[in-house]
């Protein structure tokens, strides 16, 4: 009976090695099949943690993030040590970052930080909290999270530069209320801003001149149909230009992280 048990265990280990080899060669679909085959035959659930964790990694690599979270959660339930529990929880956080459910990722970071079992893992928690803030487009908060790890952390400078390069959407709108076209100029769209300013000045002149010459109807028509249209358009354009500018800045930094950054990524 003992010999049979040992042989069965050896067979399962060989099956696990086969699945891991497929995973290491990035054959994720085939790896999932082999991991699930192993799970079917593993009646004692000896490899339940490894199987669910690896299946989660396969789905994550294939951008099947909902499935990845499901299997990392199963790995968490089958964790045998604090390190396995922490690793599975971190993978859930990383997957939430990738699927841009940043609020959930931050919530999980807070829960991990409060768990006394992981007091020695604060730096890693703050690292992934920083990444969660990056994907939430909150670069200032990201810089503060990385600073808790090391005041000279390489990602602090990137986060601070990104935040500094962004423009204020509120300010762009406010100055457009005061001077139409100014918001577009503030965001770097000089031609659009100057044209908007010119059309507002011209339509404003037509409106006022119509009232001065007692052409009240012309003044109302020009004012309602022309001047107000350009005025509202300047404000809307300023807001859109500010959003586009900030998106461009953030995407530039994200491309750097994707292609140039050598550290661990979500």
Domain positions in the chain: 11-99, 103-165, 169-256
Strand, helix or coil at 63?
coil
With CA atoms as reference, report the closest residue to 204 among 238, 234, 172: 234
Pair 147, 201: CB distance under 8 Å = no
pLDDT value, residue 9: 61
Give the CATH fold of the 11-99 domain. 1.25.40
Residue 226 and residue 238: Cα distance in Å, rounded? 18
φ/ψ (deg, to 5) at 148:
-70, -20
5 CB neighbour count, 10 Å cutoff = 10
Q: Is the dihedral of CA 15, 16, 21, 23 positive or negative?
A: positive
Report CA dihedral (90, 92, 98, 100) to the nearest 10 degrees.
-110
Instruction: Read off the pTM.
Output: 0.82
pLDDT at 137: 93
Give the pLDDT score at 232.
67
HSE toward the beta carbon, residue 30, CA cutoff 13 A: 11
Cα Rg of the chain (Å, integer): 29
CA distance 207 to 17: 81
**Predicted pLDDT at 169:** 77
Q: What is the pLDDT of residue 98?
A: 95
Q: For the chain (length 266 residues), average pLDDT per consecutive 10?
A: 49 84 92 89 88 95 95 95 96 96 95 93 96 95 94 92 87 72 68 61 52 48 54 70 85 91 90
């Amino acid at each position: 009976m003992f010999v049979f048990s040992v042989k069965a265990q050896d067979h399962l280990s060989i099956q696990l090695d086969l699945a891991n080899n497929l995973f290491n060669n990035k054959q994720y679909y085939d790896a999932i099949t082999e991991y699930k085959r192993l799970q079917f035959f593993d009646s004692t659930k000896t490899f339940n943690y490894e199987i669910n964790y690896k299946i989660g990694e396969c789905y994550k690599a294939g951008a099947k993030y909902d499935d990845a979270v499901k299997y990392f959660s199963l790995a968490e339930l089958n964790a045998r040590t604090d390190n396995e529990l922490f690793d599975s929880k971190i993978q859930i956080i990383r997957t939430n970052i990738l699927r841009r459910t940043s609020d959930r990722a931050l919530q999980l970071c807070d829960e991990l930080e409060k768990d006394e079992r992981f007091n020695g893992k604060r730096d890693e928690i703050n690292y992934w909290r920083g990444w969660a803030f990056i994907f939430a487009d909150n670069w200032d908060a990201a810089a503060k999270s990385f600073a808790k790890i090391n005041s000279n952390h390489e990602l602090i400078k990137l986060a601070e530069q990104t935040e500094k390069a962004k423009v204020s959407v509120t300010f762009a709108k406010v100055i457009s209320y005061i001077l139409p076209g100014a918001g577009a100029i503030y965001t770097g769209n000089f031609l659009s801003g100057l044209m908007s300013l010119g059309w507002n000045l011209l339509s404003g002149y037509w409106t006022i001149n119509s009232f001065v010459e007692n052409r009240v109807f012309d003044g109302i028509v020009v004012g309602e149909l022309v001047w107000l249209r350009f005025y509202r358009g300047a404000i809307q354009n300023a807001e859109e230009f500010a959003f586009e500018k900030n998106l461009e800045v953030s995407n530039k930094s994200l491309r750097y992280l994707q292609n140039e950054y050598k550290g661990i990524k979500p």
